[in-house]
Amino acid sequence: MTVTAAMFYLFAVLTVGSAVLVVTTRNVVYAAFSLMLTLCSVACLYVMLHADFLAATQVIIYVGGILVLVLFGVMMTSGKLDMKLRMERGRLIPGSLVGLILLALLIRIIYQSPWQVQDTNMLESTTKSTTQSIGESILGQYLLPFEIVSVILLVALIGAVLISRKEVKEIEES
Amino acid sequence: MELLSSLIFMLVIAAALLGFVMLLALILVLAERKVSAYMQDRVGPRRVGPFGSLQTIADAIKLLLKEDIISLQADRKLFILAPYLVFVSSFAVFAAIPFGRNLIASDINIGILYIMAISSVVVLGIIMAGWASNSKWALLGAMRSAAQMVSYEIPLALSILSVIMLVGSLRMQDIVGAQSGGLFSAQNRWILLDNPFTFLAFFIYFISALSEVNRTPFDLPEAESELVAGFHTEYSGMRFALFFLAEYANMFAVSAIAVTLFLGGWSGILPGYTFLNGVPGFVIKVSVLVFVIMWLRWTLPRLRVDQLMSVCWKYLIPIAFFNLIGVGVWILIFD
């Protein structure tokens, strides 16, 4: 077994295993930290796909940003600091139905995509950069979608600030 | 066979770096104690070894032999995991720091981005430690730390971005190469002196980095007078030592990144002279910055938490944005 294959299996097992833990654990904080492992392993898989820029941004945005906010929310909101999750039986059937549909869709996409399989050494890949091509396509070919996404994110940001400020005012009045 | 040989190769490099970080922490802890002593008109440690030089080793042995206490109410798994997470993510930064022409563990093409990504994981370790301790001091410290590190990451990233714009590469050795001219030459000067905006960017970087490593005047997460010791209040023995080690490793790492980005990295101060070239020059420059960090710690008082946030959001971030545009305009006009 080559190094690349060994590492792929390691990260694949880590990704799937921690993702299962995220869903099955009853402790919200455990779920959040398992999610950290999932996101980091996915970043490692990106590295193995030679998508180094994507891997680093994955860690910066999801682990360093969103996950910290999730943990912050969990700690601020639950009074006992260890809110337990309970699954409601009634939602089992619709939930699994949606899951199965998504799985079918994903399998369909996986089998229909033309995968370019290339045998390259992982250690050599670090000399080529994807940053430049990503930058050029974002500010060239995909400029309009990029700008639209930016505006949408800005609107969401302002909206979030507006909502949180409103709540503070209500508390002050009462 | 291939698997085994590459694994051994990686382990040897990692072990060498780990040894370096350990030695570094030993020296820096002693330096911190000596610096603080002279600033307060004391003499500092002097009993153990000549001029107290073996004091940290004695302390490390003491910490190793101490009882490992895990409080009953703590979340055992996360409590044990947290110090490793903090230490590993601080340690992993060293893989992309260029110490010399060939002295870099991995010169990856997204070097600086990798450093930012890995160091953002430290926050999670701190939150984990604070939550798992199940103590109000630890939790409050962790909360403050997370809020602070997430906020100050923005001006930090913006100041680094201005350097990236100028150099046009994320690779650490390219950034060093762009400053090969040293201090005074017309071409390839230190990025600090390249234009007024990068001069400002260095200070934005340094202030934000101080906050990222939780040093005074931004050491609210471990404010002794109000939070006992912050997020590591409940830790003892070797687990505490890991946090301590990570703190000093971080201090060196941010200084080393500052030197690499703005002060020429390992390239010499004057072009053509081998004086202060390579590793010794790099170590000296980093040591000066580390000394400044220690100097600030023993000089400045701690900020209040609202002051901390207003410094970041009302001053540093707008200045950093203005600065970024300034660098862009400068590149457009003069380069």
CA–CA separation, B185 vs B268, rounded Å? 12
Residue A81 has pLDDT above 70, yes or no: no
Residue A13, pLDDT score? 92
Q: By CB neighbour count within 10 A (0-12 exposed, 13-18 middle, 19+ buried), where does B47 fall?
A: exposed
Residue A89, pLDDT score? 65
pLDDT digits 0-9 by tens, B20-70: 888 888 888 888 888 888 888 888 788 887 877 788 888 888 888 888 777
Residue A164, pLDDT score? 77
Neighbours of B140 (CB within 10 A): 20
Q: Determine contact: B114 vs chain A, CB below 8 A.
A: yes
Asked if A65's CB is within 8 angstroms of B113's CB, the reply is: no
Q: Determine contact: B154 vs chain A, CB below 8 A.
A: no
Residue B309, pLDDT score? 85
Q: Determine contact: A56 vs chain B, CB below 8 A.
A: yes
Average pLDDT over residues B104-132: 84
More confident residue, A88 or B130: B130
A-B Cβ pairs (cutoff 8 Å, strict): 91
Residue B229 has pLDDT above 80, yes or no: no
Asked if A75's CB is within 8 angstroms of B170's CB, the reply is: no
Residue A167, pLDDT score? 59
* Domain residue ranges of chain A, discontinuous segments joined by +: 3-126
Minimal C-alpha gap between A56 and chain B (Å): 6
pLDDT digits 0-9 by tens, B313-330: 889 999 999 999 998 898
Asked if B124's CB is within 8 angstroms of A63's CB, the reply is: yes
Average pLDDT over residues A31-39: 87
Q: Determine contact: A53 vs chain B, CB below 8 A.
A: yes
Among the residue ranges B50-59, B120-129, B176-185, the one predicted with the least confidence is B176-185
Minimal C-alpha gap between A49 and chain B (Å): 15
Residue A70, pLDDT score? 83
Residue A126, pLDDT score? 46
Q: What is the DSSP letter of B272?
A: T
pTM here is 0.84
Q: Determine contact: A39 vs chain B, CB below 8 A.
A: no
pLDDT confidence of A92, banded at 50, 70, 90? confident
Residue B83 has pLDDT above 80, yes or no: yes
Q: Determine contact: B121 vs chain A, CB below 8 A.
A: yes
Mutation for B interface: A26, A27, A35, A126, most B CBs within 10 A = A126
pLDDT confidence of A153, banded at 50, 70, 90? very high
pLDDT confidence of B179, banded at 50, 70, 90? confident
- B34-41: long-range pairs with CB below 8 Å, 24+: B35/B291, B35/B294, B35/B295, B35/B298, B36/B294, B36/B297, B36/B298, B39/B295, B39/B298, B39/B299, B40/B298
Mutation for B interface: A38, A63, A127, most B CBs within 10 A = A63
pLDDT digits 0-9 by tens, B240-277: 888 888 888 888 999 999 988 888 878 777 666 666 67
HSE, side-chain direction, 13 A CA sphere, residue A28: 19
pLDDT confidence of A101, banded at 50, 70, 90? very high
Could you give the percent of chain A with pLDDT greater than 70?
Answer: 78
Q: Which residues of A touch B109 (CB under 8 A)?
A: 52, 126-129, 131
- Rounded (10°) CA dihedral A157, A161, A167, A169: -160
Q: Which residues of A touch B78 (CB under 8 A)?
A: 29-30, 33
Nearest-CB residue to B117 (from A56, A67, A81): A56
Among the residue ranges A77-81, A153-157, B113-117, B227-231, the one predicted with the least confidence is A77-81
Average pLDDT over residues A26-34: 81
Class of the CATH domain delimited by A3-126: mainly alpha
